[in-house]
Amino acid sequence: MAGAAAGDSKPGVRKRTDLRVPDQPWGTSSPSSPSPAIVLVPPSASSSANCGAQERGQNSSPDEDGLGSHNPSKGSSRDSRSERPESNNIRVAVRIRPLNAREVSAGGPTAAAIQVCGKSVSIAKEAPNDGARGPAVTISEYLRPGRTWNFDEVYDSIDKSGTAATQEDVFEGIGVPILENALDAYNGCLFAYGQTSSGKSHSIMGDPSSGADKGVLPRACERLFDMIARKTEQLAASGTPMQTTVLASYLEIYQEKLFDLLTATRSDLQVRLHKDLGPHVPGLIQAPVASMSDVSELIDFGAKNRAVGATSMNAHSSRSHAVFTIDLHIAMAMDGGTRDLRSKVSFVDLAGSEKQKKTGATGERLQEGIAINQSLSTLSRVIQSLTGCFGKNMVVPFRDSKLTLLLKDALSGNSRTVLLACVSPAAFNLEETVSTLEFASKCKLVKTSAKQNQEDKRELIESLTAEKERIAAQLAREASMRERLQAELEKEMENARAHQIRAQNIHEEKEEIERQLGELLEAHATEKQVEEAKAKAVEQELKKRHKELEEQ
């Protein structure tokens, strides 16, 4: 498949040849990499005590996430893997990457500008300052020291020692529950948000060829096939065969154009809304996959087609939003029918928000950054609309960008959604970090309406059989009624015919009587004329004789 993508790169856009983060992998150390002069996280013993007090004061509410609680330093508890989300609020996790080589070598404060306390993230109470490297950081009210945000999960990867949250911790904490939900026929979505070079691609994709450095996506695909295999064996042992179909798609949104990353053809696809399917992309390739090697091939092929480019912030900066989706269909044979389970899980690697002064972007890179910021701004407006910031009657602007239209279900529909907010601990990036934390806090208020996408064919057959019997009984009743009505109709028609005959006879009798009456009247008139003529003749004879008598 890789050969199909050759020669298809856009001018000025370099195609990614590997998915490895340019800085040292998190949770490991390298003798050749410069280490920070000061690392404040994890906190010192005194700050740990304060952290405990803060947890008791601000995080005393019970765990409502359904994803389980996590160790403050590592972020993931291995006892929470089988738990399910109990609400449909978007789950929000924050991951804080370590200072990278560029931030260390650039000078300036090397202490972390933010602190982790359990499931809380706060701005360091003292502005990070290292006089040998630069002046103190000026902090505005917006960046007030001590500002604290509470989240469902916090993954502290600042310290590269053994206490840092690893790729596996992130996967176990937010990836495994999504898979378990998918096997239970619930749609899921994990999307990574944050400024450029904050660790989104590293968390979602990582290095698929590396064991410890794999991101959530490759780990999830590996675990999914393991889960399917175990489930198939368990059901087979109980005499219940199971068939599974897994389809994968990979797309990117680049400057408001949607491209299929599984083909070398760069044609702009469209997002459509379907009453049953939700947002979908006609013409998007859905490749069948049966193993992790199949998925790896698609990931590699798509990564080579995805738009990336170098900026001052990141040598391998994603210049597009990427969405990798797994469609899962499980059919289990049951007595008298089958049970169908359907779900889809999307892994969304959003391009990072950018400031031109920091990225040094010009020309096409600048235009890419503008397009990225515009789509992320639309995403922010959508979140604000969903949380009622613009009023209850505000129309949610999903259609203002292809990204938000594609994520419509994930943000407000049939999905159990997780946001992974990725931030930098550097004072240099504090303003962007606070902006990301603010966005993540708003996402916690957004509710979705996930439903189980299952269809029990046995129940369906029973339902259809009952419906058939009901319809048959209704048809029998209607047939009986038709027969009765037909008999009544025939009787009425017979009566009508008898009435018609009687009426005809009466009419004929009437005509005969009228004829006879006419004849009688005519005879009477003739007789009357004769009598009148006789009377007149007699009268004249009398007059004549009377005159003769007078003359004598």
Distance CA 154, CA 131 (A): 30
Helix orientation angle between 216-237 and 176-183, rounded to the nearest 10 degrees = 40
Residue 201 annotated as part of some ligand binding site: yes
Handedness of CA 404, 355, 91, 207 (dihedral sign): positive
Q: Six-digit token pair at 519?
A: 């004849």
Residue 457 annotated as part of some ligand binding site: no
CA 443 to chain centroid, in Å, comes to 15
Q: How far is CA 52 from CA 73, 151, 421, 441, in A?
A: 13, 16, 23, 22
Q: How far is CA 525 from CA 119, 165, 530, 534, 539, in A?
A: 126, 132, 9, 14, 21
Residue 197 annotated as part of some ligand binding site: yes
* Cβ atoms of residues 29 and 103 within 8 Å: no
* Cβ atoms of residues 372 and 353 within 8 Å: yes
Residue 199 annotated as part of some ligand binding site: yes
Amino acid at 34: P
Residue 200 annotated as part of some ligand binding site: yes
Residue 296 annotated as part of some ligand binding site: no
Handedness of CA 118, 167, 423, 103 (dihedral sign): positive
Of 435, 436, 443, residue with least CA distance to 419: 443
Helices (H), 283-426: 292-305, 356-359, 363-386, 402-406, 408-412
Residue 87 annotated as part of some ligand binding site: no
148-150 and 120-123 beta bridge pairing: antiparallel
Dihedrals phi, psi of 268, to nearest 5 degrees: -75, 115
Distance CA 145, CA 485 (A): 88
Q: How far is CA 36 from CA 156, 209, 481, in A?
A: 16, 28, 91
Residue 198 annotated as part of some ligand binding site: yes
Dihedrals phi, psi of 61, to nearest 5 degrees: -70, 150
* Cβ atoms of residues 358 and 338 within 8 Å: no
Q: Binding site for ATP: which residues? A: 194-201
Q: Binding site: which residues? A: 194-201
